[in-house]
Amino acid sequence: MHIDEVLTMSAKMCAATGNMRWKQRYDDHVKKLDRSIQEAEVLIPLSEPQTSEEISAVNDRLVAMEQQAFRLAAQGLRQEAMALLESGQYQLDKQKYSKATQDRVDAMLQDVQASLSKERWQSRSTIAGAIVVLCLILGSCSISLTVMRQHLTRRKRTEQEQERLIADLANKNAELERFTYTVSHDLKGPLITIIGHLGVLKEDIAANDAEQINEDLTWISDAAHKMHRLLTELLEMSRIGRLTNPPESVALADLTHEAVESISGQFPQPGVRIDVAADLPVLRGDRTRLREVMQNLIENAIKYMGDQPQPRVEIGVRQDGQETVCYVRDNGLGIEPRYHDRIFGLFEKLDQQTEGTGVGLALVKRIVEVHGGRIWVESDGAGQGSTFCFTLS
* Residue 294, helix vs strand vs coil: helix
List pLDDT tens digits, range 176-229.
666 666 666 666 777 777 888 888 888 889 888 888 888 889 888 888 887 777
List pLDDT tens digits, range 82-119.
888 888 887 887 777 777 766 665 665 565 555 545 54
CA distances from 315 to 255, 323, 363 (A): 11, 17, 19
* Residue 309, helix vs strand vs coil: coil
Cβ(298)–Cβ(313) under 8 Å? yes
- pTM, to two decimals: 0.48
* Residue 249, helix vs strand vs coil: strand
Element (H, E) at 64: helix 53-74
Cβ(66)–Cβ(26) under 8 Å? yes
Q: How far apart are CA 35 and CA 372, in angstroms?
A: 56
Q: Which of 168, 104, 167 lies closest to 138, judged by CA?
A: 104
Mean pLDDT, all residues of the chain: 75
Q: How many residues does the chain have?
A: 393
pLDDT (0 to 100) of residue 256: 92
Please, what are the domains in the chain? 3-140 (no CATH), 168-239 (1.10.287.130), 248-391 (3.30.565.10)
Q: How far apart are CA 16 and CA 156, in angstroms?
A: 12
State percent of the chain over pLDDT 70.
Answer: 67
pLDDT (0 to 100) of residue 238: 66
Strands of the sheet with 374-378, listed across from one edge: 273-276, 312-320, 323-330, 386-391, 374-378
Residue 340: pLDDT over 60: yes
pLDDT (0 to 100) of residue 139: 47
Residue 51: pLDDT over 60: no
